[in-house]
A and B are shown apart, each in its own frame.
Chain A
Amino acid sequence: MSLRRFFRRTSHDTELKREIESYLDHEIDDNLARGMSQQEARRQAHLKFGSPVRVREELWQANTVEFLDHLRRNLRYSSRALLRAPGFALVCVLVMALGIGATTALFTVVHSVLLKPLPFKDPPRLIRLYEHSADEKFPYNESAAGVYAEWKKQSTGFSDLAILARGFEYGLSGTGGEFPEKVRASECSWDLFPTLGVAPALGRSFTASDDQPSADATVLLSWGLWKRRFGGDPSILNQPIHLDEKSYTIIGVMPAWFAYPGPGVQVWTPIQHEESSKRWQELDNHMFAVVGRLKPGIRETAAQAELTLITRGLHDQHLDNPFISKAANSRPLLEDIVGDYKTPLYVLLAATGCLLLIGCLNVASLLVARGTARRKELAIRAALGGSRWRLLGEHLTESFLLSAAGGMAGLILANAAIQWFVATRQDMNRVEAIHIDAPVVAFAVGLTFLCALFAGFMSSLSIKGNQILSSLQESSRSHSAGHSQVQVRKWLLALEVGLTVVLLIGAGLLLKSYERLRSSNLGCITDNVLTMHLNLPNAKYSQPVQRLSFFETLLARMRALPGVQFAGITTTAPGEDYGGDNGFLIQEHPPLPQGTMQFAIHRWVDPSYFEALGIPFLRGQSFDQNQRLDKANQVIISSSFARQYFGDEDPIGKHLLTLGERPYQIVGVVGDTRHEIAKPAQPMMYFPFYSGTESGGTLAVRASRDVTSLALPIQQIVQELDSELPVSDILTMDQIIGKSTLDASFNASLVLAFAVLSLLLAAVGLFGVLSYIVSQRTTEIGVRIAIGAQRSQVLALMLADGLRPASIGLLLGLAGGVAASKMIGSLLYAVEPLDVSVFTAVAIIIFLVASLACLLPAWRASRLDPIQALRIE
């Protein structure tokens, strides 16, 4: 009610005016009727009524909501005041925008990736299932298809249980003159999409009849592939495409937002149609991911326990096979997809929070500075009866206006930042889900509000209502002015410096960790080495001899290219991936006790591979030339393999038995290479590629210089040999390392950027505070110089005054840095959280920057002309 009246005060007042006029007219009429003269009638009427203005004033006051009235007045006054100081307002708005924008952007990422539920039906019921390996080394291991089949048959806790394979590619043949390309793919059981609760946007999903070895080949496309490669043409349904030179019928297109199992998956095929029936029954080949939907009322732990029981049963039925797991494990699907990103994203969010806090402190300090200019005005108003709350209210209004403007600019900034983030981190799971939505906007608004309160409150600490007399007396020479304001600003500065130190420490640790990671030795030569992936489709190259002939010809032609020093091929290159392992027995050693297992990472390489990548031979030599097809019976082991399984024995001449195959003789021991740059080297065994059993892998070529120029000639050779064969992932070894360290470099760069920004803000803040101190103490300095202080003494005095809050800030920051470094401990590689060199470096940087920032105002103070100084009123 009263709000309505408040907003229509003016119209009410106008109406009242008319009413009063009408009243007076009536009274005058009455008076005239009583026989008074015109003048007398008027006079008597007015006398009787009293003051119309007073009546109007009273009604106006009654219609006013005090609070809103003040607010409106404050807003008008504050905005005018801010517009009169555009430089100050602009700086504050920019600083706020930076802080709010960065924090909002990162919150968007955290919210979209980590917090928002998955876009599937009833997401909390979706569980990712794992096998727990018998030797405890892999608690979250992929599942074997045979085990999945048993789970599906026997378990009662799941309404749906689906299986999928991921991480491989098909060669998509060109039709009508397009180039062949490699598409990332996922094989899945027909019930994966019903389990997730997702339906295709076009066409239909797989049915049980599609998911049979004897069924016609069907495929589902991703939206992106459909738009890009097939022009978004709906008539593509039921048309064939060629994957690995086999014909598949397109039965549907998935929606644009669907990206399971990961970003970049472009086709889905039915798993039982793709995998051999042998593979489908294996209990020990852990290649697949299993996803299930819990029945309502069943808890995850109960379902997991049931699966463990079933798995244990299988294990006990085949005690001779140590690779069959003993237990099952589970995690909510969301955690499976984004769990690895939790710590880094939260660390980045904390860093933006620090930046925001520093920004607020900066703005608060600036507000204090502004407030001091109006000290006399405020003192007079306080003396005239203005309540402290009134003055506080005005103060807060200013900071609110600045924050609001900063918040709006910050949202725009956040939007740009998010675009950049999405473009840079296409590798991140759920990156497609990142966009600004209602909770983010609410967060930004709330943040703006908090910042305004914080900045306003902090800066108002310096307003003391009882300092009226001293403020008015400030022209006196015996009184150094603005003491409380200086104190507040010094404390604000100390806090700023402290937060900056924390950010710098974080940045330093992350940088050092990234540098250590990047310079880790993979175990091979990485300069001027080019790699590319190539796979021969089974349909065309079903015989080992065909594969052998292709790769031999290819490698020979590659070596003949000008500029090529060495060329070789491997199933998986160092630093790329785990690439699979296999169990083995050493023929010459005593048999293992039942249930224990030995396994090592396996690779297939051609004889010149080691030379191509510069992997040294520690013993023995490479494969000889007759290691082809079924004559291949040699194996080369890595140095850690030899150490772990042979100790001081000479492994050369001994034989390895891999499961279900004939013995291989060890002919050489090579240096270790890492399968992942961040992990220590694992034992590896290398088999001859020319046995023809493998259909492809990573080609590696080393040149004396400018190896990337060889990419095109090599692709041309491949095209000449087979025009429909696509080559993919053409990367130098350095780029491979870059890809695997992308996360670390990204985090380090961002935190460093924040740290540098806050250092800048703190330095500018320090400069501002000390200039302010100098201006306040001008009289005092004049007196000092006049009575004999040396210039250098004044300089030292001012420097000390400026460096004191900086030092306090440094100490606070170092303490905070200890806590912060513990928090990022899991992100660090080969770096201790309490790394002395980083902490020392940060302290030195702060000291240098603070001294530089203080130097100019202190120097100016020392150059003061005492006469001028003492003349200042």
Chain B
Amino acid sequence: MARNKSQTSQEMLQGTLDMLILRTLVLGPAHGHTITHVIERTSDDVLQVEQGSLYPALHRLEDRGWLTSYWGSSENNRKAKFYKLTPAGRKQLAAETNRWQERVAAIARVLCVRPE
């Protein structure tokens, strides 16, 4: 089936994409294509990864020392650049996840308050 951009897809905030990439890599190293697929599939295509933002994000994360990269062979036996989570990256992921959850909870509280 052809893939269409979902009507409800939103542009992802830069910080959110970083967090999602880190999360994806918790399960092990992966290359760009796989990361995109995992995020899209796991979110049931709600979140669409813009290619224009994926690579800058990956390079940014690598620069900050949360990822390391190496060239390796992919499942299809093609050369691909794999990204791996570093211990610092794991810590960052935990911190960001916490912050996200706090934010979500706060928004939820505001949304649940019945107007007087």
Contacts and interface: CB of A to CB of B under 8 A. Distances in A.
Interface of A: 1, 5, 12, 15-16, 18-20, 22-23, 25-27, 29-30, 44, 48-50, 54-55, 58-59, 62
5 contacts: A23-B51, A26-B33, A26-B78, A44-B2, A55-B56
B80 A26 contact: yes
Given A15-B81, A22-B31, A29 B55 contact: no
Given A1-B63, A26-B33, A16 B50 contact: no
B79 A22 contact: yes
B59 A59 contact: yes
Given A23-B32, A48-B3, A18 B81 contact: yes
Contact of A27 (B33, B55, B59, B81): B33
A5 B76 CA distance: 31
A429 to B, nearest CB: 60
Given A50-B50, A58-B52, 9 more contacts: A18-B81, A22-B33, A23-B33, A25-B76, A25-B78, A26-B80, A27-B33, A54-B52, A59-B55
A536 B2 CA distance: 120
Interface in B20-69: 31-34, 37, 50-52, 55-56, 59-60, 63
Interface of B: 2-3, 31-34, 37, 50-52, 55-56, 59-60, 63, 74, 76, 78-81
Contacts of A1: 63
A807 B86 CA distance: 74
B3 A19 contact: no
Given A1-B63, A5-B63, A27-B33, A22 B52 contact: no
Contact of A26 (B51, B59, B63, B74): B74
Given A18-B79, A26-B76, A58 B31 contact: no
Contacts of A50: 50-52
A58 B80 contact: no
Contacts of A62: 56, 59-60
Contacts of B51: 23, 48-50, 55
Rank and list the top 10 A-B pairs by shortest CB-CB distance, nearest first: A26-B33, A22-B80, A19-B81, A23-B33, A49-B51, A50-B51, A29-B76, A23-B32, A25-B78, A55-B55
Contacts of B76: 25-26, 29
A440 to B, nearest CB: 42
Contacts of A58: 52, 56
Nearest to A24: B33
Nearest to B55: A55
Contacts of B33: 22-23, 26-27
A20 B33 CA distance: 9
A27 B2 CA distance: 13
Contacts, number: 60
A55 B63 contact: no
Contacts of B32: 19, 22-23
Contacts of B79: 18, 22
A20 B51 CA distance: 10
Nearest to A34: B1
Contact of B56 (A15, A23, A59): A59
A57 to B, nearest CB: 10
Contact of B81 (A22, A30, A49): A22
Contacts of B52: 50, 54-55, 58
A22 B55 contact: no
A694 B60 CA distance: 93
A54 B53 CA distance: 11
Contacts of A54: 52
Which of A26, A50, A55 is the most central at the interface, judged by chain B CB atoms within 10 Å of its CB?
A: A26
Nearest to B31: A22
A236 B50 CA distance: 88
A503 to B, nearest CB: 57
Contacts of B74: 22, 26
A16 B55 contact: yes
A40 to B, nearest CB: 10
Contacts of A44: 2-3
B63 to A, nearest CB: 6
A256 B2 CA distance: 90
A6 to B, nearest CB: 12
Contacts of B37: 30
A211 B88 CA distance: 76
Contacts of A30: 37
A47 to B, nearest CB: 10
Contacts of A59: 55-56, 59
A25 B80 CA distance: 10
Contacts of A16: 55, 59
Contact of B55 (A5, A19, A26, A48): A19
A499 to B, nearest CB: 53
A34 to B, nearest CB: 8
B15 to A, nearest CB: 16
A27 B50 CA distance: 14
Nearest to A20: B55
A324 B16 CA distance: 95
Contacts of A18: 79, 81
A60 to B, nearest CB: 11
Contacts of B60: 62
Contacts of A20: 55
Nearest to B48: A48
A28 to B, nearest CB: 10
B67 to A, nearest CB: 13
A59 B58 CA distance: 11
Nearest to A33: B76
Contacts of B3: 44, 48
Contacts of A48: 3, 51
Nearest to B37: A30
Nearest to B32: A23
B59 to A, nearest CB: 6
Contacts of B59: 12, 16, 59, 62
A49 B80 CA distance: 16
A44 B56 CA distance: 22
A15 B71 CA distance: 10
Nearest to B60: A62
Contacts of A27: 33
Contacts of B2: 44
A33 to B, nearest CB: 10
B46 to A, nearest CB: 17
Most buried by B among A5, A19, A25, A54: A19
Nearest to A27: B33
Contacts of A29: 76, 78
A575 B55 CA distance: 88
Nearest to B64: A1
Contacts of A15: 81
B14 to A, nearest CB: 12
Nearest to B80: A22
Nearest to A19: B81
A5 to B, nearest CB: 7
A26 B81 CA distance: 12
Nearest to A31: B3
A26 B55 CA distance: 16
Most buried by A among B3, B33, B76, B80: B33
Nearest to B63: A1
Contacts of A12: 59
B73 to A, nearest CB: 11
Nearest to A51: B52
Contacts of B34: 26
